Amino acid sequence: MNTHDIWQSVLAEFELSPDISKANYNTWIKNTAIMEYNDNEVIICVPSTFVQAWLEKKYHTKIVNILERVTGKPIKKLTYKVGNLKNILPQDSQNTPILDSIEIKPQPPIKQFSVPCAGGVDKFGLNSKYVFGRYVVGSGSELAFAASQAVVNKPGEAYNPLFIYGGVGLGKTHLLQAIGNELLKKNPSLRIMYASAERFSNDFILSVKEGNAKTFQSQYRNVDLLLIDDIQFISGKDRTQESFFHTFNELHQQNKQVVMTSDRPPKAIPALEDRLKSRFEWGMIVDISPPDLETRIAVLQKKCAEMNFPLNPDIFPTIATTVHKNIRELEGALNKIIAFHQLKNIAPTTESVKSLLSSMEVHTRQKSTTPQGILDAICQFYEVPLQDILGSSREKRFSMPRQIVMHLMRKELNMSFPAIGNEMGGRDHTTAMHADHKIQNQIDNDPKLRQEVELIKQKLYVNNI
Protein backbone atom coordinates (compact mmCIF):
# COMPACT_ATOMS: atom_id res chain seq x y z
CA MET A 1 0.00 0.00 0.00
CA ASN A 2 1.58 3.28 -1.11
CA THR A 3 1.22 6.61 0.68
CA HIS A 4 -1.61 7.71 -1.63
CA ASP A 5 -3.63 4.57 -0.85
CA ILE A 6 -2.94 4.94 2.87
CA TRP A 7 -4.20 8.51 2.89
CA GLN A 8 -7.25 7.64 0.81
CA SER A 9 -8.18 5.14 3.54
CA VAL A 10 -7.71 7.84 6.16
CA LEU A 11 -9.89 10.26 4.19
CA ALA A 12 -12.58 7.60 3.81
CA GLU A 13 -12.74 7.06 7.57
CA PHE A 14 -13.04 10.79 8.18
CA GLU A 15 -15.74 11.19 5.55
CA LEU A 16 -17.81 8.37 7.07
CA SER A 17 -17.25 9.49 10.66
CA PRO A 18 -20.60 10.43 12.30
CA ASP A 19 -19.01 13.17 14.41
CA ILE A 20 -17.57 15.12 11.46
CA SER A 21 -19.96 17.08 9.27
CA LYS A 22 -19.61 17.28 5.51
CA ALA A 23 -18.65 20.95 5.79
CA ASN A 24 -15.92 20.11 8.31
CA TYR A 25 -14.58 17.33 6.11
CA ASN A 26 -14.51 19.49 2.98
CA THR A 27 -12.92 22.43 4.79
CA TRP A 28 -10.25 20.79 6.92
CA ILE A 29 -9.62 17.20 5.80
CA LYS A 30 -10.37 16.67 2.11
CA ASN A 31 -7.59 18.71 0.51
CA THR A 32 -4.65 17.11 2.30
CA ALA A 33 -2.17 14.35 1.48
CA ILE A 34 0.86 12.52 2.82
CA MET A 35 3.96 14.46 1.83
CA GLU A 36 6.51 12.13 3.45
CA TYR A 37 6.34 8.79 5.28
CA ASN A 38 9.67 7.48 6.59
CA ASP A 39 10.49 5.34 9.63
CA ASN A 40 6.98 5.76 11.01
CA GLU A 41 7.29 9.54 10.83
CA VAL A 42 4.63 11.24 8.72
CA ILE A 43 4.40 14.73 7.22
CA ILE A 44 0.95 15.81 6.01
CA CYS A 45 0.67 18.36 3.21
CA VAL A 46 -1.95 21.02 3.97
CA PRO A 47 -3.17 23.95 1.82
CA SER A 48 -2.68 26.74 4.35
CA THR A 49 -1.33 27.64 7.77
CA PHE A 50 -4.90 28.03 9.01
CA VAL A 51 -5.72 24.42 8.10
CA GLN A 52 -2.44 23.34 9.68
CA ALA A 53 -3.29 25.03 12.98
CA TRP A 54 -6.81 23.62 12.95
CA LEU A 55 -5.68 20.03 12.30
CA GLU A 56 -3.06 20.27 15.04
CA LYS A 57 -5.63 21.55 17.50
CA LYS A 58 -8.74 19.55 16.60
CA TYR A 59 -7.90 16.38 14.71
CA HIS A 60 -4.27 15.44 15.45
CA THR A 61 -5.04 12.52 17.75
CA LYS A 62 -7.74 11.16 15.46
CA ILE A 63 -5.40 11.28 12.44
CA VAL A 64 -2.69 9.41 14.35
CA ASN A 65 -5.16 6.74 15.50
CA ILE A 66 -6.53 6.18 12.01
CA LEU A 67 -3.04 6.05 10.46
CA GLU A 68 -1.94 3.46 13.00
CA ARG A 69 -5.06 1.40 12.33
CA VAL A 70 -4.64 1.58 8.55
CA THR A 71 -0.88 0.84 8.48
CA GLY A 72 -0.75 -1.49 11.46
CA LYS A 73 2.31 0.39 12.69
CA PRO A 74 2.87 2.97 15.43
CA ILE A 75 3.25 6.56 14.33
CA LYS A 76 6.21 8.07 16.17
CA LYS A 77 5.80 11.59 14.87
CA LEU A 78 3.14 13.41 12.84
CA THR A 79 3.69 16.94 11.54
CA TYR A 80 2.03 19.23 9.00
CA LYS A 81 3.55 21.35 6.26
CA VAL A 82 1.99 23.87 3.89
CA GLY A 83 2.65 22.76 0.33
CA ASN A 84 1.42 22.34 -3.21
CA LEU A 85 -0.95 19.40 -3.33
CA LYS A 86 -0.63 19.11 -7.11
CA ASN A 87 2.98 18.03 -6.73
CA ILE A 88 2.00 15.19 -4.40
CA LEU A 89 -1.18 13.67 -5.81
CA PRO A 90 -0.92 11.02 -8.56
CA GLN A 91 -1.69 12.47 -11.99
CA ASP A 92 -4.98 10.60 -12.36
CA SER A 93 -6.29 12.07 -9.12
CA GLN A 94 -5.86 15.62 -10.39
CA ASN A 95 -8.67 15.55 -12.93
CA THR A 96 -11.02 17.31 -10.52
CA PRO A 97 -10.10 20.96 -9.85
CA ILE A 98 -8.86 21.58 -6.33
CA LEU A 99 -8.83 25.35 -6.47
CA ASP A 100 -9.09 25.75 -2.72
CA SER A 101 -6.34 23.27 -1.94
CA ILE A 102 -3.24 24.73 -3.59
CA GLU A 103 -0.81 27.21 -2.17
CA ILE A 104 -1.06 30.33 -4.31
CA LYS A 105 2.20 32.13 -4.99
CA PRO A 106 2.33 35.93 -5.37
CA GLN A 107 0.53 36.64 -8.62
CA PRO A 108 0.72 39.24 -11.36
CA PRO A 109 -2.30 41.53 -11.82
CA ILE A 110 -5.38 39.38 -12.25
CA LYS A 111 -7.51 39.06 -15.34
CA GLN A 112 -11.27 39.48 -15.43
CA PHE A 113 -13.08 36.26 -14.59
CA SER A 114 -16.36 35.18 -16.07
CA VAL A 115 -19.16 35.01 -13.54
CA PRO A 116 -21.84 32.36 -14.15
CA CYS A 117 -25.32 33.64 -14.79
CA ALA A 118 -27.38 33.99 -11.65
CA GLY A 119 -30.02 31.64 -12.93
CA GLY A 120 -33.31 32.22 -14.67
CA VAL A 121 -36.80 32.35 -13.22
CA ASP A 122 -39.25 29.88 -14.77
CA LYS A 123 -43.01 30.11 -15.20
CA PHE A 124 -43.52 28.91 -11.62
CA GLY A 125 -41.35 31.67 -10.18
CA LEU A 126 -38.54 29.23 -9.35
CA ASN A 127 -34.96 30.38 -9.84
CA SER A 128 -32.88 27.68 -11.53
CA LYS A 129 -29.80 28.52 -9.42
CA TYR A 130 -31.51 27.18 -6.30
CA VAL A 131 -30.71 23.46 -6.39
CA PHE A 132 -29.51 21.03 -3.73
CA GLY A 133 -26.12 20.70 -5.43
CA ARG A 134 -25.31 24.35 -4.79
CA TYR A 135 -26.37 24.30 -1.14
CA VAL A 136 -23.52 24.08 1.36
CA VAL A 137 -24.66 21.88 4.22
CA GLY A 138 -23.37 22.75 7.69
CA SER A 139 -24.08 21.52 11.19
CA GLY A 140 -26.85 24.12 11.54
CA SER A 141 -28.66 23.07 8.36
CA GLU A 142 -28.17 19.29 8.14
CA LEU A 143 -31.65 18.41 9.35
CA ALA A 144 -33.38 21.00 7.16
CA PHE A 145 -31.44 19.76 4.12
CA ALA A 146 -32.24 16.10 4.84
CA ALA A 147 -35.94 16.87 5.39
CA SER A 148 -36.08 18.81 2.11
CA GLN A 149 -34.58 15.87 0.24
CA ALA A 150 -37.06 13.52 1.91
CA VAL A 151 -39.92 15.67 0.63
CA VAL A 152 -38.54 15.39 -2.91
CA ASN A 153 -38.29 11.61 -2.58
CA LYS A 154 -41.81 11.22 -1.18
CA PRO A 155 -43.89 14.36 -1.76
CA GLY A 156 -47.10 14.45 0.24
CA GLU A 157 -45.95 11.51 2.36
CA ALA A 158 -42.66 12.09 4.16
CA TYR A 159 -43.22 15.41 5.91
CA ASN A 160 -46.40 17.28 5.11
CA PRO A 161 -46.24 20.12 5.75
CA LEU A 162 -42.53 20.84 5.96
CA PHE A 163 -41.92 24.03 7.97
CA ILE A 164 -38.42 25.55 7.74
CA TYR A 165 -37.56 28.47 10.00
CA GLY A 166 -34.49 30.54 10.77
CA GLY A 167 -32.98 34.01 10.60
CA VAL A 168 -32.46 36.25 7.60
CA GLY A 169 -30.09 35.07 4.87
CA LEU A 170 -29.52 31.52 6.12
CA GLY A 171 -30.76 29.62 3.06
CA LYS A 172 -34.46 29.00 3.70
CA THR A 173 -35.52 30.27 0.27
CA HIS A 174 -32.75 28.25 -1.35
CA LEU A 175 -34.09 25.00 0.12
CA LEU A 176 -37.69 25.96 -0.58
CA GLN A 177 -37.02 26.58 -4.26
CA ALA A 178 -34.64 23.62 -4.52
CA ILE A 179 -37.53 21.36 -3.55
CA GLY A 180 -39.57 22.79 -6.41
CA ASN A 181 -36.73 22.58 -8.93
CA GLU A 182 -35.81 19.00 -8.01
CA LEU A 183 -39.42 17.80 -8.16
CA LEU A 184 -39.92 19.56 -11.48
CA LYS A 185 -36.84 17.83 -12.83
CA LYS A 186 -38.31 14.47 -11.81
CA ASN A 187 -41.76 15.28 -13.19
CA PRO A 188 -41.96 18.20 -15.67
CA SER A 189 -45.77 18.02 -15.71
CA LEU A 190 -46.00 18.76 -11.98
CA ARG A 191 -48.20 21.70 -11.01
CA ILE A 192 -46.25 23.98 -8.68
CA MET A 193 -47.14 27.24 -6.98
CA TYR A 194 -44.32 29.24 -5.42
CA ALA A 195 -45.17 32.55 -3.76
CA SER A 196 -44.29 34.71 -0.81
CA ALA A 197 -46.95 35.01 1.88
CA GLU A 198 -47.16 38.69 0.97
CA ARG A 199 -48.05 37.78 -2.61
CA PHE A 200 -50.63 35.27 -1.37
CA SER A 201 -52.20 38.01 0.73
CA ASN A 202 -52.15 40.53 -2.13
CA ASP A 203 -53.63 38.01 -4.57
CA PHE A 204 -56.37 37.21 -2.09
CA ILE A 205 -57.24 40.88 -1.50
CA LEU A 206 -57.30 41.52 -5.25
CA SER A 207 -59.58 38.53 -5.85
CA VAL A 208 -62.04 39.88 -3.26
CA LYS A 209 -62.02 43.35 -4.81
CA GLU A 210 -62.52 42.02 -8.33
CA GLY A 211 -64.84 39.16 -7.42
CA ASN A 212 -62.43 36.52 -8.78
CA ALA A 213 -62.47 34.12 -5.83
CA LYS A 214 -62.60 31.04 -8.06
CA THR A 215 -59.58 32.15 -10.07
CA PHE A 216 -57.61 32.75 -6.88
CA GLN A 217 -58.63 29.39 -5.40
CA SER A 218 -57.71 27.58 -8.61
CA GLN A 219 -54.33 29.28 -8.67
CA TYR A 220 -53.37 28.12 -5.19
CA ARG A 221 -55.37 24.92 -4.74
CA ASN A 222 -55.16 23.13 -8.09
CA VAL A 223 -51.51 22.32 -7.55
CA ASP A 224 -49.36 19.35 -6.57
CA LEU A 225 -46.87 21.43 -4.61
CA LEU A 226 -47.41 24.69 -2.73
CA LEU A 227 -44.29 26.61 -1.66
CA ILE A 228 -44.88 29.63 0.58
CA ASP A 229 -42.01 31.89 1.63
CA ASP A 230 -42.13 33.99 4.83
CA ILE A 231 -45.46 32.64 6.07
CA GLN A 232 -45.16 34.89 9.15
CA PHE A 233 -46.35 37.74 6.91
CA ILE A 234 -49.98 36.60 7.31
CA SER A 235 -49.72 37.31 11.05
CA GLY A 236 -52.61 39.53 12.15
CA LYS A 237 -54.36 39.33 8.77
CA ASP A 238 -57.56 37.56 9.75
CA ARG A 239 -59.16 37.17 6.33
CA THR A 240 -55.91 36.12 4.71
CA GLN A 241 -55.43 33.52 7.44
CA GLU A 242 -58.96 32.27 6.85
CA SER A 243 -58.21 31.85 3.14
CA PHE A 244 -54.90 30.12 3.77
CA PHE A 245 -56.54 27.81 6.31
CA HIS A 246 -58.96 26.51 3.67
CA THR A 247 -56.22 26.34 1.03
CA PHE A 248 -54.02 24.31 3.35
CA ASN A 249 -56.85 21.96 4.32
CA GLU A 250 -57.81 21.21 0.74
CA LEU A 251 -54.26 20.47 -0.33
CA HIS A 252 -53.47 18.39 2.73
CA GLN A 253 -56.61 16.29 2.32
CA GLN A 254 -55.52 15.49 -1.23
CA ASN A 255 -52.00 14.55 -0.05
CA LYS A 256 -50.51 17.49 -1.94
CA GLN A 257 -47.22 18.70 -0.52
CA VAL A 258 -47.01 22.03 1.33
CA VAL A 259 -43.68 23.62 2.29
CA MET A 260 -43.35 26.90 4.19
CA THR A 261 -40.56 29.08 5.50
CA SER A 262 -40.62 31.55 8.38
CA ASP A 263 -38.30 33.57 10.57
CA ARG A 264 -39.56 31.70 13.64
CA PRO A 265 -41.41 28.51 14.62
CA PRO A 266 -45.22 28.45 14.31
CA LYS A 267 -45.94 28.89 18.02
CA ALA A 268 -43.76 32.01 18.13
CA ILE A 269 -45.55 33.80 15.27
CA PRO A 270 -47.66 36.54 16.88
CA ALA A 271 -51.34 36.91 15.99
CA LEU A 272 -51.40 33.60 14.12
CA GLU A 273 -54.58 31.60 14.64
CA ASP A 274 -54.18 28.52 16.82
CA ARG A 275 -55.77 26.30 14.19
CA LEU A 276 -53.05 27.32 11.73
CA LYS A 277 -50.30 26.84 14.31
CA SER A 278 -51.52 23.31 15.01
CA ARG A 279 -51.69 22.45 11.30
CA PHE A 280 -48.22 23.79 10.64
CA GLU A 281 -47.01 21.37 13.32
CA TRP A 282 -48.64 18.33 11.70
CA GLY A 283 -45.59 17.47 9.64
CA MET A 284 -41.97 18.38 10.29
CA ILE A 285 -40.56 21.60 11.77
CA VAL A 286 -36.85 22.18 11.17
CA ASP A 287 -34.64 25.16 11.86
CA ILE A 288 -31.57 26.59 10.18
CA SER A 289 -29.12 28.22 12.57
CA PRO A 290 -26.32 30.66 11.71
CA PRO A 291 -23.39 28.92 9.97
CA ASP A 292 -20.35 27.93 11.99
CA LEU A 293 -16.82 28.83 10.90
CA GLU A 294 -16.30 25.63 8.89
CA THR A 295 -19.54 26.13 6.97
CA ARG A 296 -18.73 29.77 6.22
CA ILE A 297 -15.35 28.80 4.81
CA ALA A 298 -16.96 26.02 2.75
CA VAL A 299 -19.47 28.53 1.33
CA LEU A 300 -16.66 30.88 0.30
CA GLN A 301 -14.69 28.06 -1.29
CA LYS A 302 -17.70 26.88 -3.28
CA LYS A 303 -18.59 30.40 -4.38
CA CYS A 304 -15.04 31.08 -5.59
CA ALA A 305 -15.00 27.79 -7.50
CA GLU A 306 -18.33 28.62 -9.16
CA MET A 307 -17.03 32.06 -10.17
CA ASN A 308 -13.66 30.67 -11.28
CA PHE A 309 -11.93 33.18 -9.02
CA PRO A 310 -8.69 31.94 -7.39
CA LEU A 311 -8.29 33.08 -3.80
CA ASN A 312 -5.44 32.24 -1.46
CA PRO A 313 -6.77 29.70 1.08
CA ASP A 314 -5.44 31.85 3.95
CA ILE A 315 -7.89 34.59 2.94
CA PHE A 316 -11.01 32.48 3.48
CA PRO A 317 -10.73 32.48 7.30
CA THR A 318 -10.15 36.24 7.24
CA ILE A 319 -13.50 36.77 5.54
CA ALA A 320 -15.33 34.04 7.47
CA THR A 321 -14.29 35.30 10.89
CA THR A 322 -15.28 38.87 10.04
CA VAL A 323 -18.64 38.21 8.38
CA HIS A 324 -20.52 35.62 10.40
CA LYS A 325 -24.19 36.56 10.72
CA ASN A 326 -25.56 34.79 7.67
CA ILE A 327 -24.79 33.36 4.23
CA ARG A 328 -26.28 36.29 2.34
CA GLU A 329 -23.93 38.82 3.92
CA LEU A 330 -21.02 36.40 3.49
CA GLU A 331 -21.63 36.05 -0.25
CA GLY A 332 -22.23 39.79 -0.52
CA ALA A 333 -18.87 40.51 1.10
CA LEU A 334 -17.13 38.08 -1.25
CA ASN A 335 -18.78 39.66 -4.29
CA LYS A 336 -17.55 43.10 -3.19
CA ILE A 337 -14.04 41.77 -2.64
CA ILE A 338 -13.97 40.21 -6.10
CA ALA A 339 -15.41 43.31 -7.78
CA PHE A 340 -12.95 45.62 -6.00
CA HIS A 341 -9.88 43.62 -7.00
CA GLN A 342 -11.06 43.17 -10.57
CA LEU A 343 -11.68 46.89 -10.87
CA LYS A 344 -8.21 47.66 -9.50
CA ASN A 345 -6.73 44.79 -11.56
CA ILE A 346 -4.78 43.50 -8.57
CA ALA A 347 -4.57 40.12 -6.86
CA PRO A 348 -6.29 39.84 -3.46
CA THR A 349 -4.05 39.64 -0.41
CA THR A 350 -4.90 39.12 3.23
CA GLU A 351 -4.03 42.76 3.89
CA SER A 352 -6.15 44.16 1.06
CA VAL A 353 -9.12 42.00 2.06
CA LYS A 354 -8.85 43.05 5.71
CA SER A 355 -8.74 46.69 4.68
CA LEU A 356 -11.77 46.27 2.44
CA LEU A 357 -13.76 44.40 5.07
CA SER A 358 -13.08 47.06 7.67
CA SER A 359 -14.70 49.64 5.41
CA MET A 360 -17.76 47.55 4.60
CA GLU A 361 -20.97 48.22 6.44
CA VAL A 362 -21.87 44.59 5.83
CA HIS A 363 -19.49 43.24 8.43
CA THR A 364 -20.63 42.36 11.86
CA ARG A 365 -20.15 45.51 13.89
CA GLN A 366 -23.01 45.75 16.32
CA LYS A 367 -25.66 48.24 15.28
CA SER A 368 -26.92 50.60 17.93
CA THR A 369 -29.90 49.68 20.05
CA THR A 370 -31.36 50.81 23.37
CA PRO A 371 -32.81 49.22 26.51
CA GLN A 372 -36.27 50.15 25.25
CA GLY A 373 -35.47 48.56 21.89
CA ILE A 374 -34.65 45.29 23.64
CA LEU A 375 -37.83 45.46 25.71
CA ASP A 376 -39.91 46.09 22.59
CA ALA A 377 -38.25 43.23 20.71
CA ILE A 378 -38.89 40.76 23.55
CA CYS A 379 -42.50 41.86 23.99
CA GLN A 380 -43.14 41.43 20.28
CA PHE A 381 -41.36 38.08 19.97
CA TYR A 382 -43.01 36.43 22.98
CA GLU A 383 -46.31 38.32 22.74
CA VAL A 384 -46.02 39.51 26.34
CA PRO A 385 -47.25 42.97 27.45
CA LEU A 386 -44.57 45.36 28.69
CA GLN A 387 -46.20 45.66 32.11
CA ASP A 388 -45.79 41.91 32.63
CA ILE A 389 -42.13 42.03 31.63
CA LEU A 390 -41.56 44.79 34.19
CA GLY A 391 -43.91 43.18 36.70
CA SER A 392 -43.22 40.65 39.42
CA SER A 393 -45.09 37.55 38.21
CA ARG A 394 -43.00 34.38 38.42
CA GLU A 395 -44.98 32.54 35.77
CA LYS A 396 -42.52 31.10 33.27
CA ARG A 397 -44.21 32.82 30.31
CA PHE A 398 -43.31 36.15 31.95
CA SER A 399 -40.15 35.34 33.93
CA MET A 400 -38.23 33.77 31.05
CA PRO A 401 -38.67 36.74 28.64
CA ARG A 402 -37.85 39.08 31.53
CA GLN A 403 -34.57 37.26 32.17
CA ILE A 404 -33.72 37.30 28.46
CA VAL A 405 -34.20 41.09 28.46
CA MET A 406 -31.67 41.46 31.27
CA HIS A 407 -29.27 39.08 29.56
CA LEU A 408 -29.43 41.04 26.28
CA MET A 409 -28.99 44.37 28.06
CA ARG A 410 -25.81 42.97 29.54
CA LYS A 411 -24.46 41.31 26.40
CA GLU A 412 -25.60 43.75 23.70
CA LEU A 413 -25.28 47.07 25.57
CA ASN A 414 -22.64 46.12 28.15
CA MET A 415 -24.76 47.73 30.86
CA SER A 416 -23.83 47.36 34.52
CA PHE A 417 -26.05 45.13 36.63
CA PRO A 418 -27.30 48.06 38.77
CA ALA A 419 -28.23 49.95 35.57
CA ILE A 420 -30.09 46.89 34.28
CA GLY A 421 -31.95 46.63 37.58
CA ASN A 422 -33.04 50.26 37.29
CA GLU A 423 -34.30 49.74 33.72
CA MET A 424 -36.30 46.73 34.90
CA GLY A 425 -38.41 48.60 37.40
CA GLY A 426 -35.90 49.15 40.17
CA ARG A 427 -34.78 45.55 40.68
CA ASP A 428 -31.70 44.71 42.73
CA HIS A 429 -28.45 44.26 40.80
CA THR A 430 -28.16 40.67 42.05
CA THR A 431 -31.43 39.84 40.25
CA ALA A 432 -29.97 41.09 36.97
CA MET A 433 -26.76 39.18 37.60
CA HIS A 434 -28.67 35.95 38.30
CA ALA A 435 -30.80 36.39 35.15
CA ASP A 436 -27.76 36.98 32.94
CA HIS A 437 -25.92 33.91 34.24
CA LYS A 438 -29.01 31.71 34.09
CA ILE A 439 -29.89 32.60 30.49
CA GLN A 440 -26.28 32.24 29.34
CA ASN A 441 -26.14 28.77 30.86
CA GLN A 442 -29.41 27.79 29.18
CA ILE A 443 -28.24 29.17 25.82
CA ASP A 444 -25.11 27.03 26.10
CA ASN A 445 -27.16 23.89 26.70
CA ASP A 446 -30.48 24.46 24.92
CA PRO A 447 -30.32 24.75 21.09
CA LYS A 448 -33.95 25.88 20.93
CA LEU A 449 -33.40 28.84 23.27
CA ARG A 450 -30.14 29.68 21.50
CA GLN A 451 -32.04 29.86 18.21
CA GLU A 452 -34.74 32.07 19.74
CA VAL A 453 -32.18 34.51 21.15
CA GLU A 454 -30.40 34.69 17.78
CA LEU A 455 -33.70 35.47 16.07
CA ILE A 456 -34.43 38.20 18.62
CA LYS A 457 -30.99 39.74 18.08
CA GLN A 458 -31.48 39.75 14.32
CA LYS A 459 -34.85 41.46 14.75
CA LEU A 460 -33.25 43.85 17.22
CA TYR A 461 -30.79 45.24 14.70
CA VAL A 462 -32.68 44.86 11.44
CA ASN A 463 -34.22 48.33 11.59
CA ASN A 464 -30.85 49.92 12.29
CA ILE A 465 -29.04 48.47 9.31
171 is in an annotated binding site: yes
Contacts of 94 by beta carbon, 8 Å cutoff, 6+ apart: 86
Q: Does the annotation place 240 within a ligand binding site?
A: no
What residues are designated binding site for ATP?
169, 171-173
What residues are designated binding site?
169, 171-173
